């Protein structure tokens, strides 16, 4: 069963609903866990009926020991193999646009920086501009900055970035980086903050 472990998921649906979705659309979630964030992203994009759509979910699972937040010790996450199997299986069964990458975000950045292949009239097209990214993986400032440095130059026009658990980050640094590249805050909740690219 698809579930969430955060809050303010309605903001995902709201801000994707207001987008002008192109015929070729690429979205991503870092930190799939039990799948609700990815499900809501795909449902909201589906409402726009893009001709070609792929959603990328990145998660290493496997109960890794890592630092979740700034100034906190590393802990073992309860992201089990059973959780992965149930979540990924259900999403693949119901969402043909779903594409799961069982790896850390930094390894994804090293291997998938050129984009993703789409089949267009029996020809493969490489496309690598992301319309929506949900940042819900490691919540340290260093990790989020690393993720933003990958996605900012690969962001589509009017792209939306959703950062989860932003109150645990050094948001002055994050905000400065995003504003340097024409991303501004469009909504700030208690748990999620949404930025959108001006151009």
Assess if residue 3 is contained within a domain: no
Query: Is 163 contained in some domain?
Result: yes
Q: Which domain holds residue 142?
A: 10-197
| Model confidence at 145: pLDDT above 90 | yes
Stretch 8-35: mean pLDDT: 96
Instruction: Establish if 192 belongs to a structural domain.
Output: yes
Give the pLDDT confidence score for residue 66 in this predicted structure: 66
- Give me the CATH number covering residue 149: 3.40.50.150
pLDDT in tens, 57-86: 999 998 777 667 788 777 777 788 899 999
Write b or e for each residue in 67-81: b if 16 or more Cβ atoms lie within 10 A of its Cβ, otherwise e.
ebeeeeeeeebebee
Phi, psi of 143 (to 5 degrees): -65, -40
Q: Identify the helix (H) or strand (E) that includes residue 174.
A: helix 171-180
- pLDDT at res. 124: 94
| Domain-located, residue 5 | no
Looking at residue 197, its pLDDT comes to 98
Which pLDDT belongs to residue 68? 72
Q: Is residue 2 part of a domain?
A: no
Beta-carbon contacts of 111 under 8 Å, excluding residues fewer than 6 positions away, are: 103
Q: pLDDT tens, 31-43?
A: 999 999 999 999 9
Structurally, how many domains does the chain consist of?
Answer: 1
Q: Between residues 74 and 155, which one has the greater pLDDT? A: 155
Answer whether 0.85 is exceeded by the pTM.
yes
N-term to C-term CA, the chain: 38
CA atoms within 13 A on the CB side of 6: 29
Percentage of the chain lying above the pLDDT 70 cut:
98
Which residues touch 140 (CB under 8 Å, ≥6 apart)? 67, 68, 69, 70, 169
In a domain, 53, yes or no: yes
């Amino acid at each position: 069963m698809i579930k969430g472990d955060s809050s303010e998921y309605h903001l995902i649906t709201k801000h994707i609903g207001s987008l002008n979705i192109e015929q070729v659309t690429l979205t991503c979630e870092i930190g799939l866990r039990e799948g609700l964030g990815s499900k809501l992203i795909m449902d909201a994009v589906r409402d726009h009926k893009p001709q070609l759509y792929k959603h990328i979910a990145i998660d290493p699972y496997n109960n890794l020991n890592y630092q979740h937040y700034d100034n906190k010790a590393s802990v073992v996450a309860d992201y089990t193999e059973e959780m992965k199997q149930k979540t990924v299986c259900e999403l693949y069964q119901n969402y043909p646009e779903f594409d799961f990458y069982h790896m850390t975000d930094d390894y994804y950045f090293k291997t998938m920086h050129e984009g993703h292949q789409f089949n267009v009239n029996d020809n493969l097209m490489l496309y690598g501009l992301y319309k929506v990214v949900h940042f819900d993986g490691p919540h340290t400032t260093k990790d989020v900055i690393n993720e933003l440095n990958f996605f900012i130059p690969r962001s589509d026009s009017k792209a939306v970035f959703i950062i989860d658990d932003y109150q645990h980050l050094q948001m002055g640094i994050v905000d400065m980086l995003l504003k340097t590249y024409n991303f501004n805050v469009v909504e700030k909740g208690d748990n999620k903050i949404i930025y959108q690219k001006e151009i």
